[in-house]
Amino acid sequence: MNIPSLASLSLAELQNLMQTWGLPAFRAKQLLDWRNKGILDLGAMKNIPNQVKATLEEHIQTQPLKLVSRQKSTDGTRKYLFALQRENQSLKHIESVLIPDENRGTVCISSQAGCVLDCPFCHTGTQKFEGNLTAAEIIAQVLAVKADLLDDPMMDELHNQVSHIVYMGMGEPLANEVEVFKSLDLLMDEAYLNLSRRRITVSTSGLVPQIERLGLDSPVNLAISLHSAINEQRNVLVPINQKHDLTSLRKCLNTYPLAKSRHITLEYVMLKGVNDTEESLQTLIKFVNPERERVNLIRFNTYPGSEFQGSATNVTDEFAKSLISKGIRATVRRSRGDDIMAACGQLKTAKTG
């Protein structure tokens, strides 16, 4: 029997469960007020009577994740290692990242333990795939970060500024479509974190049917791990391209619903001698729809055993200038947390092989 998780229950669902357990329905609102602050530990909920807590401990899962470790980068980025709290299963681990900025905090969350894809330049891709996360486990990453900030007197002001969520951690979000869509609904629920869809970004390597369904169900910001506009090259760098090639991806991106003044982000990791050539540049210029898309050039973040090298800074800068000269919005992403292996493409849990 599946035990309901506090992290993924709506107010109406919890009120109904309260009745089933013989508890007052108004306790549901009290519980969710704590949860929405990031507090899932019943012991910390001061206005919940002990007898209510005892009933809840018997019937509900309160903490889907256990914090194993936290690392702090010199630039303020925090990386979290969590163990999944699942019964009758060997512990699986995931990583999440907090990227603090002035007046905002972005949480980069994982949707899978490991990854089903084998993109050769990504450290996560070298980790064995161990399974999809539930909506509760996805949402709990955000709650755990909020709780961590609340406990830190130096960071508690940022607690209420956890304002942006990016599905750019471990895994391919749209390969876990059902649970990711559930988690999106919860993040945007007025009775939960009430985040605007403009503040949520789902990054995908290009699963075309799932992108189309995302556009119909929850048209949040979309980022595409493009990395090459040459089919043969992308077949190697992003192997899912062998199933959903650039032609089908182009048609899909042309119809993805966009809010006013919003753009799809095309992510492009700059790899020395691979996709930073003049041919790569000219093919990318032809692929991009400037009215609907912008290009985010990403410096390659190395990891032990990698066969790739990042493009030189001047090459990346010139690449960006060339795109801009053609009327394409282009930026170079600043790496955050690379000293603790928390930057783009570096996540891989130390607890696995």
Indicate whether 281 pLDDT > 60: yes
Do 76 and 107 lie in one domain? The reply is yes
Do 211 and 231 lie in one domain? The reply is yes
CA distance 129 to 295: 29
Do 152 and 16 lie in one domain? The reply is no
Token pair listed for 220:
């949040």
Give the three-state DSSP class for 86.
coil
Pick the residue with more confidence: 342 or 280? 280
pLDDT of residue 125: 62
The residue out of 20, 42, 59 marking a domain boundary is 59
Q: Which amino acid is at 108?
A: C
CA distance 280 to 278: 5
CB-based contact 43:54 (threshold 8 Å): no
Token pair listed for 49:
């009577």
**Chain segment 63-73, per-residue pLDDT in tens:** 999 999 999 88
Average pLDDT over residues 323-352: 68
Token pair listed for 188:
């945007």
pLDDT of residue 206: 96
CB-based contact 170:136 (threshold 8 Å): no
The residue out of 59, 84, 100 marking a domain boundary is 59
Known catalytic residue at 95? yes
Do 262 and 286 lie in one domain? The reply is yes
CA distance 320 to 316: 6
Average pLDDT over residues 270-287: 97
The residue out of 17, 38, 59 marking a domain boundary is 59
Catalytically annotated residue among 95, 137, 177, 179: 95
pLDDT of residue 352: 41
Indicate whether 196 pLDDT > 80: yes
Do 209 and 109 lie in one domain? The reply is yes
Do 248 and 218 lie in one domain? The reply is yes
pLDDT of residue 353: 37
Average pLDDT over residues 138-156: 83
> What CA–CA distances, in Å, run from 123 to 97, 101, 116, 126, 303?
15, 25, 13, 5, 7
Instruction: State what percent of residues in the chain have pLDDT above 70.
Output: 90
pLDDT of residue 87: 75
Indicate whether 153 pLDDT > 80: no
Nearest CA to 269 out of 305, 234, 235 is that of 234
CB count in 10 Å sphere of residue 229: 23
- Non-local (6+) Cβ contacts of 205 within 8 A are 117, 119, 172, 224, 225, 238, 240
pLDDT of residue 345: 47
Do 86 and 55 lie in one domain? The reply is no
Q: Report the domain count for the chain.
A: 2
Nearest CA to 79 out of 345, 348, 350, 340 is that of 340
Catalytically annotated residue among 115, 119, 252, 344: 344
Average pLDDT over residues 166-192: 95
Average pLDDT over residues 85-114: 86
Mean residue pLDDT of the chain comes to 89
Query: Does some domain include residue 1?
Result: no
CA distance 267 to 296: 5
Of 41-50, 296-305, 326-335, 342-351, least confident by mean pLDDT is 342-351
Place of tokens 């503040």: 199
Between strands 264-270 and 221-225, the pairing is parallel
pLDDT of residue 346: 44
The DSSP bridge partners found for residue 241 are none
Token pair listed for 62:
């309160």
Do 115 and 254 lie in one domain? The reply is yes
Q: Sheet harboring 264-270: ordered strands across?
A: 65-72, 78-84, 93-101, 104-108, 162-167, 200-204, 221-225, 264-270, 293-299, 329-333
Of 134-148, 230-244, 292-306, least confident by mean pLDDT is 292-306
pLDDT grade, residue 165 (50/70/90)?
A: very high
pLDDT of residue 344: 54
Indicate whether 303 pLDDT > 90: no
Query: Does some domain include residue 226?
Result: yes
**Which range marks the domain in which residue 88 is found?**
65-340
Between strands 200-204 and 162-167, the pairing is parallel
**Chain segment 7-51, per-residue pLDDT in tens:** 999 999 999 999 999 999 999 999 999 999 899 999 999 999 999
pLDDT of residue 59: 93
pLDDT of residue 65: 95
Do 245 and 267 lie in one domain? The reply is yes
Of 48-62, 111-125, 162-176, 270-284, least confident by mean pLDDT is 111-125
Known catalytic residue at 232? no
Query: Does some domain include residue 346?
Result: no
CA distance 244 to 122: 19
Do 172 and 221 lie in one domain? The reply is yes
